[in-house]
Amino acid sequence: MLLFRIALLSAITFATPALAANWTVQADKSHLGFSGTQTGAPFKGSFGKWTVEIGFDPARPEAGHAKVTIDLASTRTGDTQRDTALPQADWFDVKHFPQATFEAAGFTPKGGDAYEAAGRLTIRGVAKDVVLPFTLAIAGDSATAKGHLNLVRTAFGVGQGPWTSGEWVALEVGVDFDLVAMKAGG
């Protein structure tokens, strides 16, 4: 359950390509979250603190870049027991790994408003290459990017000890983002 949150962390939010140059994400209008299943019941959570740096030119998407940094201590699910456990050593281990990051260099157009961002997601010090699919809508100096990434939390070491089996908390997690960005200087 922590992994999906982290995973997204990464995956998620770096994909906000828009018109040209640099873009500033409006955190108050954006969302970075995750979903999972615990004892057969689905749940959702979000990250309260994160930053995104984006550079994108629609004429040269391959030259774009994005970096998402997530404060893992800001993870919330609305369940006190889960929210207390996630920062602990068995899950995100925020004492040793306070942040998750996703960095992408270049975006690939997939037709229409669909793109992919190939990048590196790092959670708990474990870095893996991932491909983040997303859609992008640009209107003037404003852009909206939405995406979803499926991850296996244990690939990043999220869920140690008895939590590695998936018996109580599913191994598969989803990371979702809905970002609104403004063109810098726009």
pLDDT at 57: 84
Domain ranges of the chain: 2-183
pLDDT at 154: 97
Taken as a whole, the chain contains a residue count of: 186
Share of the chain above pLDDT 90, in %: 82
- For 115, 124, 159, 166, 173, the CA distances from 50, given in Å and listed in that order, are 22, 16, 22, 28, 19
Convert the pLDDT of each residue in 34-59 to its tens digit: 999 999 999 999 999 999 999 988 88
CATH number given to 2-183: 2.40.128.110
pLDDT at 186: 60
- E-only strand ranges, the chain: 22-25, 31-38, 41-47, 50-55, 65-71, 75-76, 99-111, 114-123, 126-139, 142-152, 172-183
Q: Within its chain, how far is the Cα of 61 from the centroid?
A: 20
Convert the pLDDT of each residue in 59-118 to its tens digit: 889 999 999 999 999 999 999 999 999 999 999 999 999 999 999 999 999 999 999 999
pLDDT at 20: 40
Which residue matches tokens 């609305």? Answer: 78
Convert the pLDDT of each residue in 130-149 to its tens digit: 999 999 999 989 999 999 99
Q: pTM value?
A: 0.86
